[in-house]
Amino acid sequence: MTIEVRLEKLGEGIEEAEVSFWHHKEGDAVEKGEDLVELTTEKASFNLPAPEKGNLSKIFFPVGEKIKVGEVLATIEKL
């Protein structure tokens, strides 16, 4: 089963974030709740955790790219 990792609503007036750092690469195993990606907005930096245990199958936004709220950052193949 494929899980989509989306950028959820971040706060009032914040509609996008920049990918600062991926803690894993495609194909890596991830645990639920483990830091997956670091994102930066105009106000703060934060880590987005993996929503499920599985393998990080696809990264759609590399470091330096901006992503809008609602877009898919990555997919995880649930184990």
**Residues 2-58: tens digit of each pLDDT:** 999 999 888 788 899 999 999 999 999 999 999 999 999 988 899 999 999 999 999
In the block, tokens 């929503």 appear at 51
CATH architecture of 2-78: Beta Barrel (2.40)
The domain spans of the chain are 2-78
Q: Return the pLDDT at 10.
A: 80
Q: Which of 55, 6, 47 is nearest to 26 (CA)?
A: 55
Q: Return the pLDDT at 53.
A: 97
Query: Do 66 and 18 touch, CB atoms closer than 8 A?
Result: yes
